[in-house]
Structure 1
Amino acid sequence: MLFLMNDVVFDLDEACPVTAADARRFEKLGFDYLMELGCELFAEDPMLHRNDPVRARRLAWLIHDRSPDVNAALFAAPETDCDPALVEPQFCALPVTVLRQLMTRAKKGLLDAVSADRAVWGRMAA
């Protein structure tokens, strides 16, 4: 299962980023809580998906676990250490073919914030 976090594609089928004990501990966390958690994490580090991919992948796994149709998340923070209320989260369900194309582009070093935005989020559209 591929998951797009901002402009990084994670393969969630690789070894589970959450231990069985953590999975049970996180079981009761709802999607809204995970959205707030994501906003807090990206408020601290807007480049979390690049600077701490292990943590970002774990967040992606949790989001997908709570909402299996969601396979893409964008957390847009205006600056480092900003108020989490300023982080704009977006979620969507992308066709598998789109995620595969994005993964191929990423492997070639061609996936960045601008190209991911053009392909998925449309935030920079004129």
Structure 2
Amino acid sequence: MLFLLNDVVFDLDEACPVTPADARRFEKLGFDYVLELGCELFAEDPLLHRNDPGRARRLAWLIAERSPEVNAALFAAPTAACNPDLVEPRFCTLPDVVMRQLQEKGRRLDAIAADRAVWNRLAA
């Protein structure tokens, strides 16, 4: 499964990003907790998806596990080290063809291209 986190596409079908023991531990976490965790992580580092792709991939995996219909998430933090309440999360479900097109862009995919293709935050 492909998952878009901000402007990075992760292939979650590759090796599981968590150990089986961690997966069992995470079973108890609800979507609200995962959402709060995502906001906290992006409040610390708004470029988490670029600066720590391993951690970002685990977050994407948690979101997909808790809400299987979701394959895209955006966590928009105004600044680094901001209050997690200021992070704006958004989620959506993208068609497989769109996800493959975004994946093909690879390193050329950036915040502006992802915004134009998915989020439309900069439009106005």
Show CA shifts across 1:70-104 (max 9, x none): 00000000000000000000000100100000000
1:118 equivalenced with 2:116 (yes/no):
yes
Q: What RMSD in Å do the two structures reach over aligned CA positions?
A: 0.5
SS of aligned partner of 1:38: helix
Residue number in structure 2 paired with 1:85: 85
Give, in whole Å, the separation in 1 of the partners of 2:95 and 2:28. Answer: 28
Please state how far the C-alpha of 1:113 moved relative to its aligned partner: 0.1
Alignment map for 1:54-69 (pairs within 5 Å): 54-69=54-69
Structure 2 stretches lacking a partner, 5+ long? none
Please state how far the C-alpha of 1:110 moved relative to its aligned partner: 2.0
Residue number in structure 1 paired with 2:96: 96
Give, in whole Å, the separation in 2 of the partners of 1:11 and 1:95. Answer: 15
Number of aligned residue pairs? 124
Runs of 4+ in structure 1 over 6 Å off: none
The one-letter amino acid paired with 2:84 is: P
1:70 equivalenced with 2:70 (yes/no):
yes
1:45 equivalenced with 2:45 (yes/no):
yes
TM-score by length of 2: 0.99
Give, in whole Å, the separation in 1 of the partners of 2:101 and 2:45. Answer: 27
Residue number in structure 1 paired with 2:36: 36
The one-letter amino acid paired with 1:124 is: L
Residue number in structure 2 paired with 1:10: 10
Give, in whole Å, the separation in 2 of the partners of 1:71 and 1:32. Answer: 17
SS of aligned partner of 1:103: helix
